[in-house]
Amino acid sequence: MMNIYQRKFYWKLIILVIAILAVLCSLIYNNQLAKELAKEEKKKVTMLAKVFEDLPTADGDYQAFLLNVLSENVNIPVILVDNQGEITGAKNFGLEKDQMQNEEDREYIQSQLKAMKGGYEPVSISFEGGKNFIYYKDSKVLAQLKMYPYIQMGFIGSFLLISYLAFSWARRAEQNQVWVGMARETAHQIGTPLSSLMAWADYLEAQDSESIQKVGQEMTKDVSRLNLIADRFSKIGAAPKLEEEDVVACLSKTLKYVKRRAASKIRFVSNLEESGELTILFSPPLLDWVVENLLKNALDSMEGEGVIGLHIKEENRNVIVDVSDSGKGIPKGNFNDVFKPGYSTKKRGWGLGLSLSKRIVEQYHNGKIYVSKSVVGEGTTFRIILPRTNS
């Protein structure tokens, strides 16, 4: 069954394909218009040349007469070249009265002629036994029409990109507000019955019966655990208080808690005992939550049998924590998806654990969390990188 992120990907792909087709249709249509306009411009130049051939001048000043005939052309840039290859006139290049009055104008027209020779074929004119040529290029309107689809694509692409980023930011902000509200409301709702349970636990521990006292003691442990969970949820959405603490001691406590609840065929390997004290600035309740999430996910991926590793080291002023397992593994294409809210391969759960873990590590501790390596059928390693200081 397709999950929400797969559906989202396919919808994005469909929208992208539709956008590309729309742009292609626009390009084809505009190119067709440009081709038709180019044909009309060539026809106009050819017609004017034909008029010159059919109407000989009395005084032989054919270049002046030709320019006069072409005076109706106010759009198409043209250059007249005689049978010796010399430029005898130019029009629509922005020169004053279309005259090459100085060396700079002549050099400019020469450069334009050189560019024109790589474009359209010139229109030839036969006059008094010699051939003259009219070189021309696209009018300003035609050049703009050819550029229009690409400018249009740029504007549409920029608009779509800005819109996508804006909507994504708004959606993430809304999701964050929902998570924060849900977390705080959960902490608030848990708090009321917890107060009552704590009172009952104290009452049971105060009884004369040893068995009842034992029930009270066990209830106190569970209430303390619930208090920790409520405290974690209450910290979501607010800047947590970071403390200088021994991160190894925090991880050891978390590992011990998960070990007690693991199946007998699960083997734990760790270097925490020989690591010694390692003090960094962090929030113990929140980091405990992150590592507990990773360890529990590791347990779920192995279905009662396998190896779980928890290792810590210091490298380049950072503390690196690796949580590994010998479970099912994660396909490489899903390395980033596992941190998205709602993504889960388990039948139970909301798929928020890793998403919240990423928020805790990256937003609250200025660190990183990612899938370091994973092979389907062999296992996965998650890596947490925490700076020694959060300055």
Nearest to 255 by CA among 330, 183, 312, 304: 312
Mean pLDDT confidence for 149-175: 75
Tell me what pLDDT residue 59 has: 45
**Model-level pTM?**
0.53
Domain covering 4-138 in this structure, CATH number? 3.30.450
Mean pLDDT confidence for 284-304: 88
Which CATH code of 3.30.565.10, 2.60.40.1180, 3.40.50.460, 3.30.1490.20 fits the domain covering 240-387? Answer: 3.30.565.10
Confidence of residue 182 (pLDDT cuts 50, 70, 90): low
- Is the Cβ–Cβ distance between 323 and 309 less than 8 Å? yes
Higher per-residue confidence, 173 vs 380: 380
235-268 burial by CB neighbour count: b if 16+ within 10 A, else e?
A: bbbeebebeebebbebbbebbeebeeebeeebee
Tokens standing for residue 149: 């689809």
Tell me what pLDDT residue 138 has: 73
Distance between CA atoms of 212 and 206, rounded to whole angstroms? 9
How does pLDDT run across 51-98, given as a tens digit for each residue?
Answer: 555 555 444 455 554 555 455 555 778 777 777 777 777 777 766 555
Q: Is the pLDDT of residue 364 over 80?
A: yes
How does pLDDT run across 6-18, given as a tens digit for each residue?
Answer: 666 777 778 778 8
Q: Is the pLDDT of residue 249 over 90?
A: yes
- Is the Cβ–Cβ distance between 104 and 110 less than 8 Å? no
Assign 3-class secondary structure to 344-366.
Answer: CCCCCCCCCHHHHHHHHHHHHCC
Find residue 132's DSSP bridge partners: 125
Confidence of residue 2 (pLDDT cuts 50, 70, 90): very low
